Structure 1
Amino acid sequence: MTATLKDKVLFVSGASRGIGLAIALRAGKDGGRVAVAAKTATPHPKLPGTIFTAAEEIERAGGKALPLVCDIRDEESVKSAIQKTVEKFGGIDIVVNNASAISLTDTQNTTLKKYNLMHEINARGTWLVTKYALPYLIESGRQNRNPHILNISPPLTITEQWFSGHVAYSIAKYNMSLCILGWAGEFREHGIAANVTAIDTAALKIVDKFVASKSRTPQIVADAARLILTKDSTRFSGNFVLDEIILREHGQTEFDQYLVTPGNRDLALDYFIEDEVFNKLKLLWKEDAKKKNPKL
């Protein structure tokens, strides 16, 4: 497949900031057309970005953008956003389910309100967006436009350590990944790919400033997402991909540009990454450091 998202129509949930915005911007640089679907229409006191500032950035990057106020917990809001996207751009080729809610609390300290929020956004919202986008993804497949669904969620590794201490959050995120497992099979006949990309080093300031300083920027996820979304949708589906690993598999060797703190290779691992994978990455990071400084 041609490695570009030019003229492709993307519906990206949670695209006003963070990973969602980074993916949308990367598509914009290719000349893609992006529906920026998020709740933030007015500036948040603590978080940067709105759907309108995101749309402006995408258009400055070279793409087309449609800012949409969309609460993916609400069926009518989702239906309306999908319809407006189709009216504006003529269809939908790619759905990126990025919107997510997080509360890293144990069972006793997780309120029902928080539990419901995480499941309504992470699990139910992801399913709802895909359900209403599906007829247009099917049509994209008929037109050989390489339709994709991409969820930003964990690999399906069912072990105690990824659930203990934050059960409510983990099962909400794993539900996003379970959707991909089902959709890969369900939509294969339509030529629609369904894949997951996960983050091998914490990419956002979710936990605290200390972790953020040992992290990578969302751009690494955006570059990995672009690579996935330009693969042949009839051949590459049902995969659970780590950003750095897939980039390395396709020849990328330089990762310093993604560091939040330049020069810092003492990186914090994100949730849901197995020790075996982490140890492999640590060896690769050491090899990279030695190439840059043979005295290490």
Structure 2
Amino acid sequence: MKNKTVFITGGSRGIGLAIGVRLARAGANVVIAAKTADPHPRLPGTIYTAAAEIEAAGGRALPLKVDIREEEQVQFAVDETVRTFGGIDILINNASAISLTPTLHTDMKRYDLMHQINTRGTFLTSKLCLPHLLKSDNPHVLNLSPPLNMETRWFAPHVAYTMAKFGMSMCVLGMAGEFRKQGVAFNALWPRTAIATAAVQNLLGGEESVRRCRTPEIMADAAFAILQKNSRECTGQFFVDEDVLTAEGVTDFAKYRVDTTLSDEELMPDFFL
């Protein structure tokens, strides 16, 4: 990862930031492309506090205020990344919106937000980064999205959200095939258990739910392992964090638990698995 340039959407907090810090520890240049430039009353971190963490970990950081719904802003961020670091080697499509509402309680403004950020934003950012990824010697795109388990139980409770997240996964399926010969890897990564993020805190039960989570570092370590693989040989895969690390020889996941007094069986499983 030394001197590799990583473009992360929504990387000012949570899993995106954890991945950025992990890659920075290996010497990467990390672009934080996210909306939060000023402190948010209910969410931790800004692009600038994230950049400070990246640099403290040993990487070079470029904080850019970007709304990935806006093509011009994404194009500016990509151009600024190339001007600053000379290219793009890795794209992490992390930015996502969530609303766990059934059909009759999903207003169209929220529906549009999820599809514009999750599916359209992933497609747009991938499209604009690809001309530079194609010049890299081991280019990877990693979408934080679930395996395409087309079962009613994953759609019925929150069909709009599931459609939007599966849209990110369909980008993996399609683009992996489209760019296989050019050597650009497209893979997905999803957690086995819930991860302690603001979404869990605010939407899935507060502190008690957070206690039954793993920390974002498990996703960061799994992402690090995937991104070191040969992009011509590792593409079109839907990875699960625990499975990736098990394959890397990890046998004890206790360090990733928020509450280390709990067993793995007591943790809260994530959606879609």
Q: TM-score range by the shorter chain?
A: over 0.9
TM-score by length of 2: 0.96
Contact 1:256–1:263 (8 Å) recurs in 2: no
1:7-156 equivalent positions in 2, closer than 5 A: 7-140=3-136, 144=137, 146-156=138-148
Return the offset for 1:204: 2.8
Structure index of larger Rg? 1
Q: State whether structure 2 residue 263 is matched by structure 1 residue 271.
A: no
The secondary structure found in structure 2 opposite 1:108 is helix
Q: Could you say which residue in structure 2 is the equivalent of 1:158?
A: 150
Q: What letter is aligned with 1:151?
A: N
Return the letter of the residue paired with 1:217: T
Contact 2:118-2:164 at 8 Å conserved across structures: yes
| Corresponding residue number in structure 2 for 1:242 | 240
Structure 2: gaps spanning 5 or more residues: none
Moved over 3 A (4+): none
- Which of these residues, 208, 211, 216, is aligned with residue 209 of structure 2? 211
Pick from 126, 147, 171 the counterpart of residue 163 of structure 2: 171
- What residue identity is the alignment partner of 2:70? D
Q: Is the CA contact 1:147–1:193 (under 8 Å) kept in the aligned structure 2? A: yes
Is the counterpart of residue 259 in structure 1 residue 257 in structure 2?
Answer: yes
TM-score calculated relative to the size of structure 1: 0.89
Secondary structure of 2:181 counterpart: helix
Deviation, structure 1 residue 192: 0.6
User: How far 1:189 moved relative to its partner?
Assistant: 1.5
1:108 is matched by which residue type in structure 2? L
Equivalent pair of 2:196/2:258 in contact (CA under 8 Å): no
Distance of 1:262 and 1:97 partners within structure 2: 30
CA distance in 1, matches of 2:210, 2:132: 38
User: 2:119 touches 2:168 (CA, 8 Å); kept in 1?
Assistant: yes
